[in-house]
Amino acid sequence: MDLELKGKTALITGGSKGIGRAVAHTLAEEGCDLILVSRDERTLAVSAQEIRNRYQVRVSEKNADLSQQSEVERVAASIEGLDILINNAGAIPSGALKEIDNERWRAAWDLKVFGYIGLCRALYTKLQPRRGVIVNIIGAAGERFDPGYIAGAAGNAALMAFTKALGVQAVRDGMRVVAINPGPVHTDRMIGKLKDAARKQFGDESRWAELTTAMSYGRAAKPEEIAAAAAFLASPKSGYTTGTVLTIDGANR
């Protein structure tokens, strides 16, 4: 299926690894030019060059810490002619209420929650002339309310509400705003968590894969599966979709 994305420009935060990297490859394969944003300058450069070599699209790199409002504004000021914004950067730590102190909680929200909101605000008027699309990669924890992941559950739920509210506003401006809530996804971050769990449960981190057997289909989602959904939602083929949050969790509850 031709998603009619060729020649469009997409900005992807956290675009150097994990889901963000998979989204970058998928959009590049569809013919999008890319702006990749990441705090990890080395990984960012490697990922960007890999995409240039493979797909022959334009890829620019912006090394930035989007937990800082000044950095959000710096990135936004450098952007012209944007069609798609993929908010993906950020990871909120696990822990119950008394295990996550204020400093860690605020730092995590500064990047994921306020980073998403800040970049939407900063780029909204640049997306509007081209009837742009915003796709927020959030997380299924926003639907679960797990007390052992309280900062993530609360932050993701806030971003779900933000997406739905902005998605209504977007209709009036000829734009669309949608989100994806992935469940478990086979990324380096997830593997790290499973290794910690395997170390505690088995005394052997190398047995982490055993912890995926109880998941739906005996595995976590592939990053490419999330990326394919993001590309479709960002495309004109999904042109009547806004204010919607798509959950992709394999029915892992």
pLDDT score recorded for residue 1: 84
Residue 49 maps to a domain: yes
Give per-residue burial for 219-244: e unless 16+ CB within 10 Å, then b: ebbebbbbbbbbbbbbbeebeebbbb
Residues in Cβ contact with 33 at an 8 Å cutoff, skipping those fewer than 6 apart:
7, 8, 9, 10, 57, 58, 59
Domain count for the chain: 1
| Residue 188 pLDDT greater than 80, yes or no | yes
Residue 76 lies in a domain: yes
Q: Does pLDDT of 253 surpass 80?
A: no
Give the residue-averaged pLDDT of 165-188. Answer: 96
H helix intervals, 130-238: 141-144, 150-172, 188-202, 223-234
Residue 77: inside a domain: yes
pLDDT of residue 63: 96
What percent of the chain has pLDDT above 70? 100
DSSP string, 22-55: HHHHHHHHTT-EEEEEES-HHHHHHHHHHHHHHH
Q: Report the amino acid identity of residue 34.
A: L
Pick the closest to residue 232 from 248, 218, 221 (CA basis).
248
Q: What is the pLDDT of residue 193?
A: 87
Q: Are 34 and 15 in contact (CB under 8 A)?
A: yes
Q: Tens of pLDDT along 67-124?
A: 999 999 999 999 999 999 999 999 899 999 999 999 999 999 999 999 999 999 999 9
Please give the residue range of the domain that contains residue 176. Answer: 9-185+221-246
- Position 252 scores a pLDDT of 86
* pLDDT score, position 38: 96
What CATH number corresponds to the domain at position 80? 3.40.50.720
Model confidence, pTM: 0.95
pLDDT at residue 171 is higher than 90: yes
Domain contains 160: yes
Structure-token match 């170390």, residue found: 199
pLDDT value of residue 150: 97
Distance separating alpha carbons of residues 218 and 225, to the nearest angstrom? 15
Residue 80 and residue 60: Cα distance in Å, rounded? Answer: 12
Confidence of residue 178 (pLDDT cuts 50, 70, 90): very high
pLDDT (tens digit per residue) in 139-149: 999 999 999 99
Residue type, 69: Q
Q: Is residue 232 part of a domain?
A: yes
Radius of gyration of the chain (CA): 18
